[in-house]
């Protein structure tokens, strides 16, 4: 039982760090591309309270951790005024992809640390749990947020390459996007968990190929 509490504490810390850096990079890339909306709203900060969505950031990933499923989630979306962005739709896509790529890079850094120290290959207690959780949670955030469902980041990338009528459909889905995601998880939970595990395993195999 004590281990469970330690594990959940590790998950919570990793979620907060991963989520904050994910959203911060959205805001920074938008700022670099000419839009200061995120800065004006105080989102260019490491303060997790500015980024937390109670369900997506805390409740969902913690429930997944307790159930033993792949851990993923999201945060309060950074607001962007695309009219101010360089490259317009493509600028929006760059802002969107910055978040998942940050999580992918964090996961890779964690994997390299675990590889060099050996903690991912043998159980040395707390550090094995921490590094493995850090890698898996960041991969979960990366994969989940790349799904092409508004308002997840993958939809922003898709938006840049889709024709206007598809963009209008995606815009109409925007307000219901999180509800759709939640329903997909509830209805297709087993298949969704299988997809997340398979995608995570594929990326981990790529990491192993790179470091070896």
| Residues marked as catalytic | 23
CA atoms of 63 and 43, how far apart (whole Å): 26
Tokens standing for residue 68: 């033993």
Burial annotation 127-150 (CB, 10 A radius, 16+ → b, else e): ebbbbbbbbbbbbbbbbbbbbebb
Q: Following DSSP, what letter does each residue of the chain receive, concatenated? A: -HHHHHHHHHHHHHHHHHHHHHHHHHHHHHHHTT--HHHHTT-SSS-GGGT--IIIIIIHHHHHHHHTSPP----PPPP--GGGSTTHHHHHHHHHHHHHHHHHHHHHHHHHHHHHH-TTTS--THHHHHHHHHHHHHHHHHHHHTSSSTTSHHHHHHHHHS-HHHHHHHHHHGGGHHHHHHHHHHHTHHHHHHHHHHHHHHHHHHHHHHH-
């Amino acid at each position: 039982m004590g281990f469970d509490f330690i594990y959940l504490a590790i998950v919570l810390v990793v979620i907060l760090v991963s989520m904050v850096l994910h959203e911060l990079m959205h805001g920074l890339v938008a700022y670099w591309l000419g839009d200061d909306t995120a800065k004006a709203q105080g989102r260019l900060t490491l303060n997790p309270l500015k980024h937390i969505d109670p369900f997506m950031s805390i409740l969902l990933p913690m429930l997944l951790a307790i159930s033993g499923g792949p851990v993923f989630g999201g945060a309060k979306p950074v607001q962007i005024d695309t009219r101010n962005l360089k490259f317009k739709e493509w600028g929006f896509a760059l802002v969107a992809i910055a978040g998942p790529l940050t999580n992918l890079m964090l996961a890779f850094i964690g994997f390299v640390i675990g590889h060099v120290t050996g903690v991912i290959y043998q159980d040395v207690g707390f550090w094995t749990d921490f590094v493995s959780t850090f890698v898996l949670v960041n991969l979960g955030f990366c994969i989940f947020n790349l799904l092409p469902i508004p308002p997840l980041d993958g939809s922003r990338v898709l938006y840049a390459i889709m024709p206007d009528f598809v963009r209008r459909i995606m815009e109409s889905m925007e307000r219901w996007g999180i509800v759709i995601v939640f329903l997909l998880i509830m209805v297709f939970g087993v298949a969704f968990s299988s997809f997340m595990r398979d995608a995570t395993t594929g990326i981990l195999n790529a990491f192993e190929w790179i470091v070896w």
